Amino acid sequence: AVHIAEHDIADEARVLDLAIEGLERFPTSAKLLVAFERTAQSRGDVARANTTFERLIENAMGAHGRRGVAYRHARWLERAGQMSEALDAYVRAFKLSPAEGIAFSAIERLAADLGRFDALVAAMLALVERTSHVEKRLALMRNTVALCEGPIGDLDRAFELMHEAWSSTGRTDLLPDLRRLSRRLVERGSPRGEACFREMVTHLDERIKSSWDADDQIRCLRIVASIHALELSDLASALEAVDRGMVVANENEDIDRVEAAELACDAAEYALASRSADEAAKRAYDAGKLVEGHERAIDLAARAAAMGGKRASVPRPLPVPPPVLVEATVSDTDTVAASYTHLRAHETVLDLV
């Protein structure tokens, strides 16, 4: 009947009536559904289309069947130019079985086009809840936070989401984002920002006390020192954290000496920022003792000296002597004199001794 009305009589109104009537009796008929969608769109009959799709969704078998019909409804609305309604319909289809797929992709696209990022945030959070892979969960959470912080402009929600992610995982790689959000809260006058900084320090201190990994302890102490110096303006506590790191470094021979040297260099940077040139020189020297010829330590020592601090002699690598010196014997006084001249030029006279 639908075929005759469409192709022989060419009566769209009759085609739509027959297609809807047929779907009431045979809701799973693909041919009737296609005829209904095509004719309803041609006539622009959004109201009857919505009513019919609602009935089809209610009568569909299981969540998978309802999701399929809901997705067709959303796609029909989008083709009909009803973009906001289409987004709502895509969200409905997505909720019936949250997963990354065509419904989620449609939500991403329309949310961006319409500026309705709240719908996308809700979808992303649903995916976070259903995703067991840790790295994937964190990637989704970071994207959600970026939406809240950026297009939506909801700093409080962005902070709470990131804080929840960090609290539940203890991941130090989340701290840069959490610190940035906390800093923005402080700038806005919210006490929550500073409270979070202190919470980070407490959490890291507990991790340090319970850890047997010296390298992890030094990495955590480096973050603690940074928070004290840069976020809480507490140089004394920052240097105390660095001192704890130096103790760990001195008590463990197999540590990552570069990371420990960077910790000492951080302390020199904080001291220079506070105009404490002598303290900066001392810290640069500590870094140089850990890693001979450490370029950052050498630069910091020079900056401390330029500020008026004590000149720190940062240990440098022993220069390779000319071949003639290698071949000479120690009893050769001319060679010894040449060695003295060569090493003094490189400020390493003690190496000759």
pLDDT band at 16 (very low <50, low <70, confident <90, very high): low
Give the mean model confidence (pLDDT) for residues 151-174: 92
Task: Classify the C-alpha dihedral 35-38-43-49 as positive or negative.
Answer: positive
Residue 241 has pLDDT above 50, yes or no: yes
pLDDT band at 58 (very low <50, low <70, confident <90, very high): confident
In whole angstroms, give the CA distance from residue 62 to residue 44: 30
Give the mean model confidence (pLDDT) for residues 108-125: 94
Digit-coded pLDDT (tens) for 282-329: 999 999 999 988 999 999 999 999 888 565 555 555 455 555 544 445
pLDDT band at 89 (very low <50, low <70, confident <90, very high): very high
CA-only gyration radius of the chain, Å: 34
Digit-coded pLDDT (tens) for 140-159: 999 999 999 999 999 999 99
* Position with higher pLDDT, 199 vs 5: 199
Question: CA-CA distances (angstroms) from residue 67 to 46, 52, 94, 249?
Answer: 20, 15, 7, 59
Digit-coded pLDDT (tens) for 180-203: 999 999 999 999 999 999 999 999
Q: Closest Cα partner for 75 from 64, 61, 62, 89?
A: 89
In whole angstroms, give the CA distance from residue 196 to residue 200: 6
Digit-coded pLDDT (tens) for 204-228: 999 999 999 999 999 999 999 999 9
Q: What is the pTM of this model?
A: 0.73
Q: Closest Cα partner for 320 from 338, 349, 343, 341?
A: 343
Is there a contact between 316 and 292 (Cβ–Cβ < 8 Å)? Answer: yes
pLDDT band at 131 (very low <50, low <70, confident <90, very high): confident
Provide the 8-state DSSP code for 253: T
In whole angstroms, give the CA distance from residue 198 to residue 191: 11
In whole angstroms, give the CA distance from residue 315 to residue 153: 50
Q: How many CB atoms lie within 10 A of CB 301?
A: 26
Predicted pLDDT of residue 170 = 87
Residue 349 has pLDDT above 50, yes or no: no
Q: Which two tokens stand for residue 142?
A: 């970071």
* Position with higher pLDDT, 345 vs 274: 274
Predicted pLDDT of residue 267 = 96
Residue 30 has pLDDT above 50, yes or no: yes
Predicted pLDDT of residue 347 = 46
Task: Classify the C-alpha dihedral 90-93-95-98 as positive or negative.
Answer: negative
pLDDT band at 169 (very low <50, low <70, confident <90, very high): confident
Predicted pLDDT of residue 28 = 72
Using a pLDDT cut of 90, give the percent of the chain over it: 61
